[in-house]
Amino acid sequence: MSGRPPQGRPGRGRPENQRTSDRPRSAPAPTAPLLRLQETDLAYSLLLAAKAMTAVLHHGRSLDQALTQNLGNEQSFAVRGAVRDLATTGIRQWGRAQVLIQILTQKPGLNPPLLETTLGLGLGLLWPSDAPKYPSHTVVNQLVNACAAEPTLVAGKGLVNACLRNFLRDTPHWVDQALKNPQARWSLPAWWVRKVMDQHPIQGEALLSQAAQHPPMVLRVNSRIGSAQQYVDYLAEKDLSARVIGPQAVLLDQPCSVDVLPGFAQGEVSVQDSAAQLAAPLLDLQDGQRVLDACAAPGGKTGHLLELANIDLLALDSSESRLNRVADNVERIAPTLDGDWRFNMKAAKAEALEDWWDGTPFDAVLADVPCTGSGVVRRHPDIPWLRRPDDSANLSRIQHTILDALWSTLKPNGTLLLVTCSIFREEGPLLAKAFTEKHADAVQLDAPGVVHPTADAAVSPDGFFFAKFRKRAQS
């Protein structure tokens, strides 16, 4: 999928106007830990989650990278799940927590960074909720224990304890103070809030609200196996409640592990958002066509293409390691595919044609180009904190370069589908408009255009943009 945050860009967790020089220059010297944690302690998972948050907010890692970095194979499945859930919650609440930290401490930031994220994680967990994850006293107690067990946090244990208890003593007051800042209202960077509201004055608040919600779990039923309704009926027999929300799309009433989904391991069903499921059918594939899936990882759309027709498909991605996920997806659905179909993969940049294209043109191209990922923030809450205001403009230049290259690989009368998981105009309508203005042989066809998320997170699709072009044959 497109929309991967850039890696290795430091300082992502600071407010947009805060300079490095504003932060405390000296950190307390590490102190011997006062407590040794067991894996079963909540404090153990809290500390690992705070470390993952630090890697995201202060070192520019994606959340997935940060979790991989801080979770080794020695941790149990339960701990890994708890840490992921806590870190995701902490990032999702970071906009509020960051404002609260500044109010409660009267400092622009805390040093070391792990102290700031540990306190922020606690404040995020204590922010008023209809369904709090843990009792408030448990959060305070376990975070203090986490500090006592970490050498770089021992000196800050008292500060964490004091701030959390101060917040609990008069939560309504502190929440009211924080909500004067738009960053706390939406728990998103202030520049991100402004941009969404400027570009979407009508839907803006719904988009911002949706970004803070947990995403639904939507399945794509393999059309070679059966219909969406047939699968819903089958799930009912297994006491799993679901409903049909698209041609092959099924919404689970309660998310679950794929391990318990009937037919998942056999390739009969895949996890894919309802908006993402719109892409492959728009190409109107026919048996025998030569098709390119550019920027293919992680492979959800790749599998969908193969389910729709017996094609000769090339999956292209700049990351060889990410192509492994594409291969896994295709391998899982392969037993369901009958007929004469072919599949190959290449690791290369889409715009570097000399590295991957053999000169044989394609009948159809799926161009799922890199973007900010602004439409999938609820699935990847780290995205707004890893982005900068000028990223859309910078990525737009890359998108144009990729589209120009891919257009040259398309047969006359062939179809190119542009897809981005973004709600920003530069990566949607403006990108498509500039493309048609540059390429006189591009005929824009009917496509959904912008798919807006809605405030009803239980059924809302992710944010996407679709534009479809036919290459006019030369007369």
Return the CATH fold of 20-188.
N-utilizing Substance Protein B Homolog; Chain A (1.10.940)
Active site residue 163: no
Q: Which two tokens stand for residue 22?
A: 């504003």
CATH number of 216-272: 3.30.70.1170
Nearest to 417 by CA among 284, 297, 218: 284
Fill in the amino acid letter for 429. Answer: P
Lowest mean per-residue pLDDT among 82-96, 131-145, 205-219, 400-414: 205-219
What are the domain boundaries of the chain? 20-188, 216-272, 276-471
Confidence of residue 71 (pLDDT cuts 50, 70, 90): confident
Strand order in the sheet with 269-271: 242-244, 249-252, 218-221, 269-271
pLDDT for residue 6: 37
Report d(CA 386, CA 409) in Å as an integer: 33
The pLDDT assigned to 455 comes to 66
pTM, rounded to two decimals: 0.88
Residue type present at position 470 = R
Rounded CA gap, 313 and 85, in Å? 36
Per-residue pLDDT at 33: 65
**Does pLDDT of 26 surpass 70?**
no
pLDDT of residue 17: 39
- Where does residue 241 rank: exposed (0-12), middle (13-18), buried (19+ CB within 10 A)? exposed
SS3 443: strand
Show the tokens assigned to 123.
């404040």
Confidence band for 464, pLDDT divided at 50, 70 and 90: very high
In Å, the largest CA–CA distance within the chain is 80
Indicate if the pLDDT at residue 304 is higher than 50. yes
Q: For residues 379-408, give the mean pLDDT.
A: 95
pLDDT at 204: 92
With a cut of 70, say whether residue 31 has pLDDT above it.
no
- 49/300 Cα distance (integer angstroms): 28
What are the tokens at 267? 């390739």
| Active-site option among 147, 295, 371, 421 | 421
CATH architecture of 276-471: 3-Layer(aba) Sandwich (3.40)
pLDDT at 475: 63
Judged against a pLDDT cut of 70, whether residue 2 lies above it is answered with: no
Burial of 421 (0-12, 13-18, 19+ CB in 10 A): buried
Averaged over 271-288, what is the pLDDT? 97
Q: Measuring CA to CA, which residue among 454, 445, 374 is closest to residue 414?
A: 445
Task: Return the pLDDT at 70.
Answer: 86
pLDDT at 19: 34
